[in-house]
């Protein structure tokens, strides 16, 4: 995909409006940033622009503000944290994203300086369903700059003003992070090195159906784990006790397995399970073979399945992982998820991890450095893998 590249913009002496995804998790009790990965991953784009003599007007959303100015979701704290990540850089904050004050701060910005605008979602125009409202808002943002760069992969599936309309109003390009994310995903879906194995887990089959529908024609094998495995097993009339099952999706689960077989691909389901008599670590816990007895629920993939999945993963050239294999937040049901991380760490090929839970489990296992790519996008990654066109990308390709 020929995304316009940041290198093609002659930014020296110019102002660049940069959309980043600094929507970082905040500690519920203190409000402090609990993980700044998303900020760190956009630093190369920021530095490239600054080193080329641009000044940068930075915009992002943070959380889902319900009222117009929620101090807990102000980008002021983000601007402060950015100072620690870019020591020596002059970083200013504008308490407004548009309007005369923001404009005069942008105007007085010197080369190599950064102006962080207030949370873009404090303005309902940003997410308006009315294209004209979004365009008028985007015009107010764009009048402060000469160029637009989008590095917000995590928000690329949103047709919002700062993503979609801004890209159409100014000469624009993709930032380094956005480009890398798209390059990796595009390669997976168009020409993966084979064998290509997808490991898909999580609570609900319904939220991953579209991804599975698409992967079933592309991956050589799909390994299923998490609660969604029980909907698949139940669709094949295997007893799953009191496990979480989405009854209304049984027939679709059944059909996906058929579609895989038709395409000569494999969907592999757990052959044993760690089960518990209640949802928690205090119940009666045991390992059972494929069918789960009445009064027990599946909480994690069992040791045989772990070994089997690990073997398939280790022989792959491309592995994509999204979603935990069990209730990994509880220690007794975390082995399956960690087994995937460990097996992936040994792969000699591309290993791509997406989705908040899988990334969190990976960071707990200390194996992050062993992966080729950890995606910063949750919803954006899934929508791309579903085969949908992401508005952020469409706008850049206009």
Site string for ligand AMP, 219-238 (x = CB under 6 A): -------xx-----------
Q: Give catalytic status of residue 346 as yes or no.
A: no
Residues 6+ apart with CB under 8 A from 68: 122
* Residues 249, 6: Cα–Cα separation, whole Å: 44
Site string for ligand AMP, 241-280 (x = CB under 6 A): ---x------------------------------------
372: three-class secondary structure by DSSP:
coil
Q: Work out whether 329 is an interface residue with ligand AMP (CB under 6 A).
A: yes
- Closest C-alpha to 338, from 323, 328, 330: 328
Q: Give catalytic status of residue 354 as yes or no.
A: no
CB of 357 to ligand AMP, least distance (A): 5
Q: Which of 138, 292, 299, 395 binds ligand AMP (CB under 6 A)?
A: 299
From the list 14, 89, 168, 204, the catalytic residue is 204
* Residues 168, 166: Cα–Cα separation, whole Å: 5
E strands, the chain, are: 15-19, 55-59, 91-94, 114-117, 147-150, 172-174, 196-200, 221-224, 266-268, 272-276, 285-289, 297-301, 318-322, 350-354, 373-374
Residue number with the smallest Cβ distance to ligand AMP: 202
How many Å separate Cα 196 from the centre of its chain?
20
335: three-class secondary structure by DSSP:
helix
- Closest C-alpha to 81, from 64, 105, 60, 51: 60
Complex with ligand AMP: residue 250 or 394, whichever CB lies closer: 250
Angle between helices 228-235 and 250-262 (to 10 degrees): 80
Q: Which of 65, 154, 202, 377 binds ligand AMP (CB under 6 A)?
A: 202
Site string for ligand AMP, 149-188 (x = CB under 6 A): ----------------------------------------
- Closest C-alpha to 144, from 190, 96, 178: 96
Q: Give catalytic status of residue 379 as yes or no.
A: yes
Stretch that binds ligand AMP, among 38-46, 90-98, 203-211, 360-368 (CB under 6 A): 203-211
CB of 147 to ligand AMP, least distance (A): 37
Q: Work out whether 332 is an interface residue with ligand AMP (CB under 6 A).
A: no
From the list 38, 41, 134, 208, the catalytic residue is 38
Task: Give the tokens for residue 144.
Answer: 């402060």
From the list 295, 356, 388, 389, the catalytic residue is 356
CB of 199 to ligand AMP, least distance (A): 12
Stretch that binds ligand AMP, among 93-101, 103-111, 117-125, 202-210 (CB under 6 A): 202-210
Complex with ligand AMP: residue 302 or 355, whichever CB lies closer: 355
Q: Work out whether 290 is an interface residue with ligand AMP (CB under 6 A).
A: no
Q: What is the DSSP letter of 36?
A: -
Task: Give the tokens for residue 274.
Answer: 């760690």
Q: Which of 207, 217, 251, 263 binds ligand AMP (CB under 6 A)?
A: 207
Q: Give catalytic status of residue 356 as yes or no.
A: yes
Stretch that binds ligand AMP, among 13-21, 84-92, 173-181, 199-207 (CB under 6 A): 199-207
User: 22-44 b/e with 16+ CB inside 10 Å = b?
Assistant: bbbebeeeeeebeebebbebbbe
**Contact set with ligand AMP (CB under 6 A):** 202-204, 207, 226-227, 244, 298-299, 323-324, 326-327, 329, 355, 357
Which residue numbers are catalytic?
Answer: 38, 204, 356, 379
């Amino acid at each position: 995909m020929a995304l316009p590249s940041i290198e093609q913009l002659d930014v020296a002496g110019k102002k660049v409006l940069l959309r980043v995804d600094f929507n970082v998790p905040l500690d519920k009790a203190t409000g402090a940033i609990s993980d700044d990965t998303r900020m760190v991953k956009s630093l190369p784009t920021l530095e490239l622009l600054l080193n080329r003599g641009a000044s940068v007007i930075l915009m992002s959303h943070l959380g889902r503000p319900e009222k117009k100015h929620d101090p807990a979701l102000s980008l002021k704290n983000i601007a402060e944290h950015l100072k620690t990540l870019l020591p020596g850089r002059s970083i200013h904050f504008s308490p407004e994203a548009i309007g005369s004050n923001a404009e005069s701060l942008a105007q007085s910005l010197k080369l190599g300086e950064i102006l962080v605008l207030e949370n873009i979602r404090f303005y309902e125009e940003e997410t308006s369903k009315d294209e004209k409202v979004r365009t008028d808002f985007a015009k107010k943002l764009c009048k402060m700059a000469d160029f637009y760069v989008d590095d917000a992969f995590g928000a690329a599936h949103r047709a919002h003003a700062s993503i979609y309309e801004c890209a159409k109003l100014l000469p624009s390009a993709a930032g380094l992070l956005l480009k890398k994310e798209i390059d990796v995903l595009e390669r997976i879906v168009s020409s993966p090195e084979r064998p290509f194995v997808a490991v898909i887990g999580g609570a609900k089959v319904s939220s991953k159906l579209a991804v599975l529908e698409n992967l079933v024609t592309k991956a050589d094998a799909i390994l299923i784990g998490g609660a969604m495995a029980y909907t698949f097993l139940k669709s094949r009339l295997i007893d799953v006790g009191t496990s979480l099952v989405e009854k209304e999706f049984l027939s679709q689960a059944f059909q996906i397995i058929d579609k895989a077989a038709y395409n000569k691909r494999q969907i592999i389901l757990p052959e044993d399970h760690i089960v518990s008599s209640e949802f928690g670590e205090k119940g009666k816990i045991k390992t059972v073979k494929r069918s789960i007895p009445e009064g027990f629920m599946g909480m994690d993939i069992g040791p045989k399945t772990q070994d089997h999945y690990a073997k398939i993963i280790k022989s792959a050239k491309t592995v994509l992982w999204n979603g935990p294999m069990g209730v990994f937040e509880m220690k007794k049901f975390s082995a399956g998820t960690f087994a995937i991380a460990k097996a992936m760490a040994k792969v000699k090929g591309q290993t791509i991890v997406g989705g908040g839970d899988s990334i969190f489990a990976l960071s707990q296992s200390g194996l992050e450095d062993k992966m080729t790519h950890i995606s910063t996008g949750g919803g954006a990654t899934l929508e791309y893998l579903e085969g949908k066109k992401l508005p952020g990308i469409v706008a850049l390709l206009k």
